[in-house]
Amino acid sequence: MEKYQHYINGKWVDSVVKGESIIVYDPATEEAVGEISCAVKDDVDLAVESAKKSYESRILVDMPPMERANLMRKIADELRKVSKEGGKILCLENGKLLPAAEFEFVDAANYFDYYSGLTDKIEGRTIPVNSQVMDYTIYEPYGVSAHIVPWNYPISMLARSLSCAFAAGNSTVVKTAELTPLSTASAFAKAIDNAGVPAGLINIICGYGSGAGNDLTAHKDVSQVSFTGSVKTGKAILHAAAERAIPAVVELGGKSAAVVMPDADLDKVVNAAKGAIFGQAGQICSAMSRVIAHKSIKNELVGKLANLATSLKVGHGSEDGTELTPVISEDQLQKIENFSRSGQQAGASVAAGGNRVDRKGYYFEATVFDDVQPEMTIAQEEIFGPVLSVLEFNDQDEAVDIANGTEFGLAAGVFTKDVNQATKMASQLNGGQIYVNSWFTGSVATPFGGYKQSGYSREKGQEAIKSYLQLKNIGIQL
């Protein structure tokens, strides 16, 4: 079993405390696939100290914008080069499809390419005060930026925030998810190293959230935090950031609804569901976890969705033809089972699935619940598994009320052939992104974030970079 290390100050190193490590398992086989050093407080201190020294050296801050852009494009090139190697590791530790795992490195490269184009466009402005004063603003990085990344898309989500922070001139410390640290500590760090990133600008450690994560967000030399994950953990990070009066970018959970109007193309809904709730075994923050269907087409749609669910091939992410992969862990599998039981006990009907798959690994059947009522737990709480709840509505106002009737607001969608109806409903739905007749229509350039308990920050697009910059005003007496 291969042993992996932290990447601190341009070198791969073990934990300060010898013997501290985390075993990582393949969720498809339940077999160990790697061991990685586990960060304790001293490791966090070393990583933050490395980032702080690199920031204070101003090597990135004073680097000409086009030079910084070139360096970011080198990182992108190296990420593409390690996509095959890194994808294999990510497939094993996460369970996702191998092509999807390889694409995460390509997606990460796209983020670095995109934000490399903004390095020379971070512009202030002049402000008229009077004829005796020259007044202007400039944007500056915060300093040491901490990034706590999730296990479901560990490479893509890391690059999403890291590329932004780097383009803005920050030095960074990354804490990987303890369930999926291997691809980040190996292939991603290798790409950073091969690109010639100066030592200390990007540091990568692995540790538990309750240990290294808490130590990192509470560290006196961390000036800004970025987090993607659960609402509970996100709130804890916001509290820690508030204690020190530092900014935090948080993208949290979701319970996203697709409203299906009577004129909708039902095949489009089914095609969307295949990737949006059954892809990645439903472990997607903006998953299409609720379908709110008009009563006139609901039964037909449920039948189509059930046929899809039962037709999906279950298997390891590296096997050809696999469509439904495992969930990340036994704990997650048990949570999904509990949700499924609660739905049945509350009166929802199982149109497909509803149980764990009878085989080795953490597999749960692609599940479709019918007759779901808005107040049921399965319609209110984020399950983070391949479980779709179908609810019924009579008119558009009721559909909007049901869609908006949770504490979340990450995404939402509408399926209809009437563009006027689509635009009207898009303005009424609570969500940071609204999809029409499809799902996941965005790109690196489109802003992403939530309403309500799904968070208030925005990642991706030009809007995101200002979360990693602070504004300074300068007035000169002439």
Amino acid of residue 402: I
Q: What is the pLDDT of residue 110?
A: 98
Q: What is the mean pLDDT of residues 133-156?
A: 98
Average pLDDT of the chain, as a whole number: 97
Q: What token pair was written down for 130?
A: 């009077």
Positions annotated as catalytic residues are 251, 285
Q: CB of 135 within 8 A of CB of 160?
A: no
Q: What is the pLDDT of residue 19?
A: 81
Give residues with Cβ within 8 angstroms of 271, minimum separation 6: none
pLDDT over 90 (residue 409) = yes
Q: What is the mean pLDDT of residues 339-350?
A: 98
pLDDT band per the 50, 70, 90 thresholds, residue 20? confident
pLDDT over 90 (residue 163) = yes
Q: CB of 205 within 8 A of CB of 174?
A: yes
Q: What token pair was written down for 351?
A: 């149109």
Q: What is the pLDDT of residue 460?
A: 97
Q: What is the mean pLDDT of residues 54-73?
A: 98
pLDDT over 90 (residue 1) = no
Q: What is the mean pLDDT of residues 231-245?
A: 95
Q: What is the mean pLDDT of residues 61-89?
A: 98
- Give me the half-sphere count of Cα atoms (radius 13 Å) on the Cβ side of residue 203: 30
pLDDT over 90 (residue 47) = yes
Q: What is the pLDDT of residue 220?
A: 97
Q: 256-260 and 411-415: which strand pairing?
A: parallel
- How much is the pTM? 0.97
Q: What is the pLDDT of residue 113?
A: 98
Give residues with Cβ within 8 angstroms of 432, minimum separation 6: 409, 410, 411, 447, 448, 449, 450, 451, 454, 458
Q: What is the pLDDT of residue 18?
A: 84
Give residues with Cβ within 8 angstroms of 105, minimum separation 6: 79, 80, 82, 83, 86, 87, 155, 187, 188, 191
